[in-house]
Amino acid sequence: MAQQTIIQLLDDLDGSEASETIVFSLDGKTYEIDLNEKNAAKLRKALAPYVDKGRKLSQPRGGKRAGAGRSTADGDTAQIRAWAKENGYDVNDRGRVSAEIKEAYAKVKAA
């Protein structure tokens, strides 16, 4: 029996179909948000003056490597969600994926 899992990202602001997941940091905390093209452009435009004047860090303060603990570049949430659903985890179609699910995914991929 063939099975196909379809992951649809929804914009966390307005509920429309999202086109990307954006990862950003503020005050030492890292966030990710699923946005459509219009809302992603708004976020980038709002942050542009600060990004232009800010200093890019090669390593976040505190000595932790960017993305430490993630198994995929930029935390491929669509792939993690699909894996979680296929393996019986209760995972939302939008928003953040729990650390528990990310850790389980990382363990399986590392094996």
**Residue 16 to residue 36: CA distance in whole angstroms:** 7
Each residue of 40-90: pLDDT tens digit? 999 999 999 999 999 888 765 655 544 444 444 445 888 888 888 888 888
Question: Going from the N-terminus, what domains does the chain have, and what CATH number goes with each?
Answer: 20-110 (3.30.60.230)
- Predicted TM-score (pTM) of this structure: 0.51
